[in-house]
């Protein structure tokens, strides 16, 4: 079996809390971002961009998440506070994949969003190909306009995913996969 097929057949996600050091080097991060931006893109609009969170920047993102949660719920318990504080600090690298989809004379916004999802998946695959693991999550932060603004998103921009990247803390279990018989039909001749 060729290497790419073998990789795609075994790839699975790791939950962010199960991702730890080591993470990719700076040269590897550049490779990841280059591959993430090499995706089908109707109209060559590059309707996506990336924000990297490394080192103390991860803690700052967690502090923003905590401050917003506390603003909504001042009596947030300690465990919930710790969860927010650590939200972006488990893995050594988090990359936010941001959709810049916007109205366009020719290219539907939907297709721009699909291209951004493709960028996110390319990032996940490339991460695995380099020998690391990835966890693609959104969680509440992606859907909170205050958080999006705090990390620098414009009003029309959306978080496709926060991709947490590093090495597995534990042996990763696979999950059940859909049977092809449930999801594939042949169009009648």
Ligand X SMILES: Cc1cc2nc3c(=O)[nH]c(=O)nc-3n(C[C@H](O)[C@H](O)[C@H](O)COP(=O)(O)O)c2cc1C
Q: Which of 112, 161, 164, 165 binds ligand X (CB under 6 A)?
A: 161
How far, in Å, CA of 128 to CA of 154, rounded? 30
128 near ligand X, rule: CB under 6 A: no
> Which parts of the chain fold into alpha helices (H)?
3-10, 26-36, 56-72, 78-86, 109-129, 139-143, 145-150, 180-183
Contact flags string 60-99 toward ligand X, x per CB under 6 A: ----------------------------------------
Which residue is listed with tokens 């590897």?
Answer: 28
What is Dmax (Cα atoms) for the chain? Answer: 63
Residue closest to 142 by CA, chosen among 85, 108, 99, 187: 99
Beta strand pairing status for 19-20 and 48-54?
Answer: unpaired
Span of 2-10, 23-31, 39-47, 132-140 interacting with ligand X by CB under 6 A: 132-140
13 binds ligand X, rule: CB under 6 A = yes
CA distance 136 to 81: 22
CA proximity to 147, closest of 78, 98, 76 = 98
Nearer to ligand X, 18 or 92 (CB): 18
Q: Least distance in Å: CB of 174 to ligand X?
A: 7
Q: According to CB under 6 A, which one of 4, 25, 34, 138 is a site residue for ligand X?
A: 138
Tokens found for residue 27: 């040269």
- Taking the complex as a whole, the smallest distance from the CB of residue 160 to ligand X amounts, in Å, to 7
**Residue with smaller CB distance to ligand X, 59 or 139:** 139
Residue from 83, 130, 137, 150 touching ligand X (CB under 6 A): that is 137
Q: Which of 12, 38, 73, 146 binds ligand X (CB under 6 A)?
A: 12
Q: Cβ closer to ligand X: 80 or 137?
A: 137
Q: Which residues bind ligand X (CB under 6 A)?
A: 12-13, 135-139, 161, 175
């Amino acid at each position: 079996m060729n290497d790419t097929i073998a990789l795609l057949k075994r790839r699975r996600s790791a939950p962010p809390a199960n991702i730890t050091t080591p993470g990719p080097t700076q040269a590897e991060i550049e490779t990841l971002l280059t591959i993430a931006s090499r995706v089908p893109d109707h109209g060559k609009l590059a309707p996506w961009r990336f924000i990297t969170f490394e080192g103390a920047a991860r803690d700052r993102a967690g502090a923003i998440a905590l401050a917003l949660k506390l603003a909504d719920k001042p009596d947030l318990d300690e465990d919930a506070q710790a969860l927010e504080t650590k939200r972006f600090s488990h893995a050594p690298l988090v990359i936010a994949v941001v959709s810049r989809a916007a109205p366009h004379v020719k290219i539907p916004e939907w297709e721009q969003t699909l291209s951004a999802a493709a960028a996110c998946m390319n990032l996940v695959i490339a991460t695995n190909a380099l020998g690391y693991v990835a966890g693609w999550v959104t969680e509440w932060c992606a859907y909170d306009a205050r958080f999006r603004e705090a990390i620098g998103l414009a009003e029309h921009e959306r978080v496709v995913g926060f991709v947490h990247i590093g090495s597995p803390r534990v042996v990763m279990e696979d999950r059940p996969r859909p049977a092809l018989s449930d999801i594939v039909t042949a169009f009648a001749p």
